[in-house]
């Protein structure tokens, strides 16, 4: 760490000189002992406003919608973990997405994946189209489909990879090349992989978006979002939007997110190990029709996943031979896998996307199979997780 680093004035310093390995970065990024007290952990600056030394002067902070020191520490940590120059934190993943989409103007066009988080689809299709933005939803696992959807007005390509809930993997490097050849940006929703497994900026993306609610927070106790990027001009615009629109997280949520991300590397290892074993167990089970997990050879984009991700993640989806009725039975019979939306926490969750997280897509071309089950595999002992699935699947007999 730099000797004279003053946390009160440091906001998003460039991380270019940073040579830490990822595990080290998760522990140390954005951490500067409090200059007033020596507190090793970033204090929760639970304040809306800051005393000004004089009119027109400040100690780097004046009002917490604009900047707050706990938020600055979180933003610095997130920038470091994604290998970006800048990060901005938001009150939710959707607030981060909405703020980024404000760089796209009426009449502009966006190419997005046809398997997306339901809330992202709703924001794009139900809200932003009424402000004059145009969207094409295409199979982004096929680079040609992206290329064919590009128009002179295309300003942004939006990838979610691995996608929620079908775990489709899109080639970030190729998508970046296509977007840039049309003078458009590439944004990647990296929520499912987290920076522990995939760093889109290094693969050519212009923006990384997160729901920090999920793996980064990791404990199912906050809602938050972030944008991470390298380019200064876009950062200045987004920074203005963050302050002008005001969808900012409170200091307590920033603190909890920081606390959560300190163990991101360890947690992701456990999520990935458990998810692989759960996926293998399910693939061999006679009641299971199909298992989707990027770490299985049977996954259609297994090779791309291996190339751009360091491990396949903690999410598994499956369908059963008994289709929707069987899925409903299993989702209500598991005990450790709790029936709940969301993902990425230490505890295992089960849900049916077509009825819950992706209900906004029913009756659209993007509708999800009503028999699809999505598992967020937690960090419990994997034997207990498999035993739980075994007893729930036995209820089908
Ligand atoms: C949850 C989620 C979001 C939305 O984030 P919130 O924090 O719930 O607003 C966006 N993208 C993906 C992939 C998600 O899983």
Do 208 and 302 fall into the same domain?
A: no
Do 269 and 256 fall into the same domain?
A: no
Give, to the nearest 10 degrees, the angle between helix 382-394 and helix 323-333.
130
Burial 223-261 (b: 16+ CB within 10 A, else e): bbbbbbbbeeebbeebbebbeeeebbbbbebbbbbbbbb
Do 21 and 165 fall into the same domain?
A: yes
User: In this structure, what token pair is assigned to residue 146?
Assistant: 């992206």
Helix, strand, or coil here: 304? helix
Its domain, for residue 147, covers 8-261
User: Taking the mean position of all CA atoms in its chain, how far away is CA 280?
Assistant: 25
Ligand 1: centre distance to CA 91 (Å): 11
Ligand 1: centre distance to CA 139 (Å): 20
Do 272 and 251 fall into the same domain?
A: no
Does residue 150 fall inside a structural domain? yes
What one-character DSSP code corresponds to residue 162?
S
Q: Which of 171, 189, 230, 388 is catalytic?
A: 189
Burial 154-192 (b: 16+ CB within 10 A, else e): bbbbbbbbbbbbbbbbbbbbbbbebbeebebbbbbbbbb
Give the per-residue pLDDT at 12: 39
Give the per-residue pLDDT at 18: 65
Sheet holding 154-160, edge to edge: 86-90, 225-229, 207-211, 185-189, 154-160, 109-113, 134-138
Cα four-point dihedral sign 286, 289, 293, 296? positive
Does residue 366 fall inside a structural domain? yes
Ligand 1: centre distance to CA 71 (Å): 19
**Cis amide leading into 164 (omega within 30):** no
56: phi > 0 → left, psi -120 to 50 → alpha, else beta; which? left
344: phi > 0 → left, psi -120 to 50 → alpha, else beta; which? left
Number of domains in the chain: 2
150 in contact with ligand 1, CB cutoff 6 A: no
Do 274 and 247 fall into the same domain?
A: no
92 in contact with ligand 1, CB cutoff 6 A: yes
Task: Give the residue from 233, 261, 289 where a domain finishes.
Answer: 261
Do 222 and 273 fall into the same domain?
A: no
Give the per-residue pLDDT at 6: 38
- The pLDDT tens digits along the chain (397 residues) read 333 333 333 343 444 446 899 999 999 999 999 989 999 999 999 999 999 999 999 999 999 999 999 999 999 999 999 999 999 999 999 999 999 999 999 999 999 999 899 999 999 999 999 999 999 999 999 999 999 999 999 999 999 999 989 999 999 999 999 999 999 999 999 999 999 999 999 999 999 999 999 999 999 999 999 999 999 999 999 999 999 999 999 999 999 999 999 999 999 999 999 999 999 999 999 999 999 999 999 999 999 999 999 999 999 999 999 899 999 999 999 999 999 999 999 999 999 999 988 887 777 877 889 999 999 999 999 999 999 999 999 999 8
Give the per-residue pLDDT at 376: 98
CATH number at residue 287: 3.90.1150.10
Find all residues with CB under 8 Å of 325, minimum gap 6, and list them. Answer: none
Do 153 and 215 fall into the same domain?
A: yes
Give the per-residue pLDDT at 359: 83
User: In this structure, what token pair is assigned to residue 381?
Assistant: 């002992």
Q: Round to the nearest angstrom and report the end-to-end CA distance of the chain.
A: 60
CB 44 within 8 A of CB 222: no
Give the per-residue pLDDT at 72: 98
Ligand 1: centre distance to CA 193 (Å): 12
Do 318 and 224 fall into the same domain?
A: no
Helix, strand, or coil here: 51? coil
Ligand 1 atom closest to residue 163's alpha carbon, by position in its atom list = 13
Do 270 and 152 fall into the same domain?
A: no
* Residue matched to tokens 């409170």: 250
H or E segment to which residue 25 belongs? helix 22-28
CATH number at residue 124: 3.40.640.10
* Residue matched to tokens 């739980």: 388
Do 25 and 41 fall into the same domain?
A: yes
Task: Give the residue from 261, 291, 317 where a domain finishes.
Answer: 261
**Residue to probe by mutation, ligand 1, list 164, 214, 315, most atoms within 8 Å of CB:** 214
Please name which of 321, 324, 350, 335 lies closest in space to residue 384, comparing C-alpha atoms.
335
**Residue to probe by mutation, ligand 1, list 188, 200, 207, 213, most atoms within 8 Å of CB:** 213
Do 256 and 292 fall into the same domain?
A: no
Give the per-residue pLDDT at 10: 38
CA dihedral (156, 200, 192, 310) in degrees, to 10, reads 150
């Amino acid at each position: 760490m730099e000797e004279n680093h003053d946390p009160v004035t440091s906001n998003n310093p460039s991380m270019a000189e940073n040579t830490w390995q990822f595990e080290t970065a998760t522990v140390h990024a954005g951490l500067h002992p409090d200059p007033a007290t020596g507190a090793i952990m970033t204090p929760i600056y639970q304040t809306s406003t800051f005393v000004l030394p004089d009119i027109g002067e400040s100690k780097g902070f004046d009002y917490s919608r604009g900047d707050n020191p706990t938020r600055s520490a979180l933003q610095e940590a997130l920038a470091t973990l994604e290998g970006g120059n800048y990060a901005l934190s938001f009150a939710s993943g959707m607030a981060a997405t909405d703020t980024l989409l404000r760089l796209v103007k009426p009449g502009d066009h966006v190419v997005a994946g046809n398997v997306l988080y339901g809330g992202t689809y709703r924001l794009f299709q139900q809200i932003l189209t009424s402000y004059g933005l145009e969207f094409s939803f295409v199979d982004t696992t096929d680079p040609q489909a992206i290329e064919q959807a590009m128009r002179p007005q295309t300003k942004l390509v939006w990838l979610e990879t691995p996608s929620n809930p079908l775990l489709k993997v899109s080639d970030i490097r190729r998508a970046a090349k296509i977007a840039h050849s049309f003078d458009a940006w590439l944004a990647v929703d990296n929520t499912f992989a987290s920076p522990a497994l995939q760093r889109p900026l290094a693969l050519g993306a212009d923006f990384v978006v997160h729901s920090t609610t999920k793996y980064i927070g990791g404990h199912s106790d906050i809602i938050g979002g972030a944008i991470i990027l390298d380019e200064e001009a876009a950062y200045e615009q987004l920074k203005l939007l963050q302050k002008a629109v005001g969808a900012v997280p409170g200091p307590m949520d920033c603190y909890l997110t920081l606390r959560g991300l300190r163990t991101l590397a360890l947690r992701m290892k456990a999520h990935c190990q458990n998810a692989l074993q759960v996926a293998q167990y399910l693939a061999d089970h006679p009641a299971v029709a199909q298992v989707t997990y990027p770490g299985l050879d049977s996954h259609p984009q297994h090779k791309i996943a291996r190339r751009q991700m360091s491990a396949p993640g903690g999410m598994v989806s499956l369908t059963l031979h008994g289709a929707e009725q069987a899925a409903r039975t299993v989702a209500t019979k598991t005990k450790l896998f709790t029936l709940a939306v969301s993902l990425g926490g230490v505890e295992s969750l089960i849900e049916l996307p077509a009825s819950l997280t992706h209900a906004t897509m029913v009756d659209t071309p993007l509708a999800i199979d009503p028999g699809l089950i999505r598992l967020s595999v937690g960090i419990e002992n994997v034997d207990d997780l498999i035993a739980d699935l075994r007893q729930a699947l036995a209820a089908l007999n």
